[in-house]
Chains A and B, each alone.
Chain A
Amino acid sequence: MKEEIQFILDVSERIFAKNIDHKIRLDPEKNHDTLIKEIRESHLTKIAVKEKLGGAGMNLVDIIPLIKLSAFYGVPIPFVETIICNYFFSVFDTKPTDDFISICYEESGVIIKDNKVSGLLKSIPYLNFTNKVMAKVRYNDDDYLIFFENKNSYLKQIHNFLAEPRYDLEVKNENILFKEKFPKEINFLNILANLKSIQATGAMEKVLQLCIDYCSNRKQFGRALSKFQMIQNHISEISLEIAASGASISVLESSNNIETNRDENFSNDIKTAIAKIRTGMASGKVIALSHQVHGAMGFTKEYDLSYFTKNLNSWRNDFGTEIQWQNSLGNYFLKQNKNLWEFLNH
């Protein structure tokens, strides 16, 4: 898989580098045509789909570097969301679509009747871009994975301070195009939380690069900002946080899988918690310090930095903040009858 993923990363990087700039990020609706076309032609969104269904046959662990890369480039469309949705189609041996799809985790009052769905689906990214949604919903004491096309439901944009546009959707009797009972052994929350931790690491690496570039070029007092020890200190601290985050992601990368549900040792849950906590802590510091070293320029919409720091702000809150995961992780330990070192080396 190593060689294959490297090839895919090279292809992706070429597509991202050529087609994404800050203008496109700010106005994805107008400028995304070639980006979409090239992503489609390269079948990148089917990377985690079984080969017999037309995919590349990778698993969610294999594709971690691609998720990171897409966040580094700030891909302004539901690229990773679509990869995950297609992965789920593949789990059920269903052929994935060629469209982009958004994904929903939070819902309330969902009713499924005569193959139609109604209810409130919350905080869905990119509904300005696609009207296709995959959601995990609970109905009659069962969890379902459903897929539908949003035709006549009410859309409300929320959280518009975030870089990724998010929407609440009041769903009214939309036709269900795909419905399966959600597999008990797969942990949807962990998958999505891991996704955000991985994306955050990619975005932080981009922020570091922006800091280094900016401070090396901008001069004050007759010297580049990068020559000031205080500024160097801020940037070193950013990189320390990224290194620790990278390590927490390495654990995910070394796993057999990141999707199965809890075993007796909570081993996947622990990895997910560690990554979400460490990247969440890091994001807070990296946001503050990177804005500090950029001066007023970083505070403008015009300049790249804010796109990435808004994403970081958003991702650290998605699928459990680090505080909530700290609580879970602390409790995993307290509930087991092991001393700390045994727990850490389960």
Chain B
Amino acid sequence: MSQFNFPFEEETKDLKDLRLKVRNFIKKTFKEDKITPSPDAWVFSTNPSFSKKLGDQGWLGMSFPKKYGGHQKSMLERYIVTEELLVSGAPVAAHWIADRQSGSQIIRYGTEDQKKNIIPKITSGECFFAIGMSEPDSGSDLASVKTFAKKTTNGWKLNGRKIWSTGAHLAHYMIVLARTTKQVDNNRHSGLSQFLVDLRLPGIEINGIEDMTGQKHFNETVFDDVVLDKDSLLGSEGKGWEQVVGELALERSGPERFLSHFVLLDNFLNEFKSKMSEFSTLSLGKIIAELQSLRIMSFSIASMIEKKHSPEIQAAFVKEAGNNFEKKLIEIIREMSNLIPIQTWSPSLKSLFEDATLKIPSNSLRGGTSEIMRGIIAKKLGLR
């Protein structure tokens, strides 16, 4: 049963060196730019100048072809860089989506012009993306989207509304999943297409939505008779569903699904390593074992993607197991503090903890809910 094999190679010396290089860069830049780590930084912590610096280092669009400004590095090298950024709580939200999925989607399906115009700006850390999938009436049931792109003589006219679009207020582009023909009952997945939409076009309104932590990181994006030229279609007309499924595998399988709150754990241990009870040591052993297993899964998927496999079930494994792990992590940190009352923690640790506690419910919603992940797994196992 091959879906449970996660072929894995020990990190080579080159990869280890890369790790250290990234780590040192982050340390130095944090100091120079007075950046403090934050949990869930890939969604919440935006800093375009930091993104630009990563671009200058050659750490964005790493796997993209050189002729579009990429660096033709392996997915494993990219994996190392993303891990180091996540565990340090670096402010990577601005470019995260562009680097993780939108750029790859353009490389895979885009026209030569699209690639030439956009990819170099992604790799330099100057072009940010938002994901235009969810709508007010289409959440888990993504294929039911109603946003419609009507063919015109010169291109398309887009109408509809997207919601929960993370970072759309800062993004230059959104990849919008829209219907291009009316839904036929017997095939819900046909008639969908993806569009590369420049968010500065007339007819687009972006309204921030305050989340429960009080931040406005996601938005409602309204499209009112937005005129798109022919070249806005990404990939093939009517193939939007197949394309979006591949994009979701990139979105779900990365280490952000289990390293979003590592900063909290790390800070907790730095402060209290010497005060761990026997009971806490047991919990710690468990966390380490779970975390390392997740890292192997995700690292292995990166090499599957490199080899052009489509690891759909494996991506769902990482997303679901990773999200469960993070929820448990917060609880375990509470348990490990059995001898160290929360009231006695340093203010910075306490604030990391409170922040993480508030943000944690979102992690098994964004990118597809737990229930949907389990549904995908069941389907791939032949149960549905």
Instruction: Please report A residues at the B interface, Cβ cutoff 8 Å.
Output: 201, 205, 208-209, 212, 215-216, 226-227, 229, 231-233, 235-237, 239-240, 242-248, 250-251, 253-255, 273-274, 277-278, 281, 322-323, 325-331, 333-334, 339-341, 343-345
Cα-based distance from A325 to B290 in the complex (angstroms): 13
Given A247-B293, A248-B292: A277 in contact with B4 (beta carbons within 8 A): no
Of the A-B pairs whose beta carbons lie under 8 Å apart in the complex, a sample of 18, sorted by A's number, is: A208-B381, A240-B317, A240-B320, A243-B321, A247-B296, A247-B297, A250-B6, A251-B296, A253-B8, A274-B289, A277-B289, A327-B285, A329-B288, A330-B281, A333-B284, A340-B265, A341-B87, A341-B266
B276 touches A274 (CB 8 A): no
Max chain A C-beta neighbours (<10 A), residue from B265, B288, B294 = B288
Please tell me if the beta carbons of A326 and B285 are within 8 angstroms of each other in the complex: yes
Interface size range on B against A? 35 or more
Q: Select B8's contact among A205, A250, A331, beta carbons within 8 Å.
A: A250
From B281, B300, B382, give the contact of A216 (CB < 8 A): B382
Interface string of B357-384 (1 = CB under 8 A from A): 0000000000000010111011001111
Main secondary structure of the interface of A (DSSP, over half): helix
A-B contact count (CB 8 A): 162
A236 and B374: CB pair below 8 A?
A: yes
Q: Which of A227, A330, A331: most chain B CB closer than 10 A?
A: A330
Minimal Cβ-Cβ distance residue in B for A248: B293
Identify 20 new A-B residue pairs, CB closer than 8 A, beyond the known A330-B284, A344-B292.
A201-B4, A208-B1, A212-B382, A233-B374, A236-B373, A239-B377, A240-B320, A242-B4, A247-B300, A251-B296, A253-B8, A254-B8, A273-B289, A277-B289, A281-B289, A322-B289, A325-B285, A327-B282, A330-B288, A343-B288
Residue in contact with A236 in the complex, picked from B266, B270, B314, B381, CB distance below 8 Å: B381
**Which partner residue on chain A sits nearest B379 by CB separation?**
A232
Nearest residue in B to A255 (C-beta to C-beta)? B10
Tell me, in angstroms, the Cα distance from A121 to B292 when the chains sit together.
Answer: 36
Give chain B nearest CB distance to A312 CB in angstroms.
15
Q: Which residues of A contact B288 (CB under 8 A)?
A: 274, 329-330, 333, 340, 343-344
Once the chains bind, are B321 and A244 in contact (CB under 8 Å)? yes
Residue ranges of B at the interface with A (Cβ–Cβ < 8 Å): 1, 3-11, 16, 19, 87, 262, 265-266, 269-270, 273, 276, 278, 280-286, 288-297, 300, 314, 317, 320-321, 324, 371, 373-375, 377-378, 381-384
Residues of B within 8 Å of A325, CB to CB, are 285, 289
Residues from chain A with a CB closer than 8 A to the CB of B3 are 239, 243
How far apart sit A301 and B158, CA to CA, in the bound complex (Å)? 63
Report chain B residues within 8 Å CB of A323. 282
* Nearest CB in chain B: distance from A314 CB, A: 20
The 9 tightest CB contacts between A and B, nearest first, are: A326-B285, A330-B281, A232-B378, A277-B289, A329-B285, A330-B285, A247-B296, A246-B4, A236-B374
Does B19 contact A345, Cβ atoms closer than 8 Å? yes
Q: Check A244–B297 contact: CB distance below 8 A.
A: yes
The CA of A325 and the CA of B281, in the complex, are separated in Å by 11
| Complex interface: chain B residues within 8 A of A329 (CB) | 284-285, 288-289
- Say whether, besides A250-B296, A326-B286, A330-B288, A235 and B383 are in contact (CB < 8 Å): yes
How far is B292's CA from A243's CA once the two chains are assembled, in angstroms? 13
CB-defined contacts of B265 to chain A, threshold 8 Å: 340
B383 touches A216 (CB 8 A): yes
On chain A, the residues within 8 Å of B290 by CB distance are 244, 278, 281
Of the candidates A328, A333, A340, the one whose C-beta lies within 8 Å of that of B266 is: A340
Roughly how many angstroms separate A251 CA and B300 CA in the complex, as a whole number? Answer: 11
CB proximity of A258 to chain B, nearest CB, Å: 13
Among A327, A333, A343, A345, the one with the most B-chain Cβ atoms within 10 Å of its Cβ is A345
Which of A243, A340, A343 is within 8 Å of B297, CB to CB? A243
CA distance A244 to B282 in the complex (A): 19
Q: Is the beta-carbon distance between B9 and A254 smaller than 8 angstroms? A: yes
Q: Which of B281, B373, B382, B384 has the most C-beta atoms of chain A within 10 angstroms of its own C-beta?
A: B281
Complex CA–CA separation, A215 to B382 (angstroms): 11
Residues of chain B lying within 8 A (CB to CB) of residue A226: 378, 383-384
Quick check: B282 and A326 within 8 Å, CB to CB? Answer: yes
B314 closest partner in A (C-beta): A243
C-alpha gap A331/B290 in the complex (Å):
16
A227 to B281 Cα, complex, angstroms: 42
Residues of B within 8 A of A236 (CB): 320, 373-375, 377-378, 381
Q: What is the minimal beta-carbon distance from B363 to any residue of chain A, in angstroms?
A: 16
From A239, A246, A253, A330, give the contact of B381 (CB < 8 A): A239
Chain B residues lying within 8 Å of A339, measured Cβ to Cβ, are: 266, 269-270
Q: How far is the CA of A201 from the CA of B289 in the complex (A)?
A: 15
Q: Within 8 Å CB of A278, what residues of B?
A: 289-290, 293
Q: Are A212 and B381 in contact (CB under 8 A)?
A: yes
**What are the residues of chain B within 8 A of A326 when measuring CB–CB?**
281-286, 289
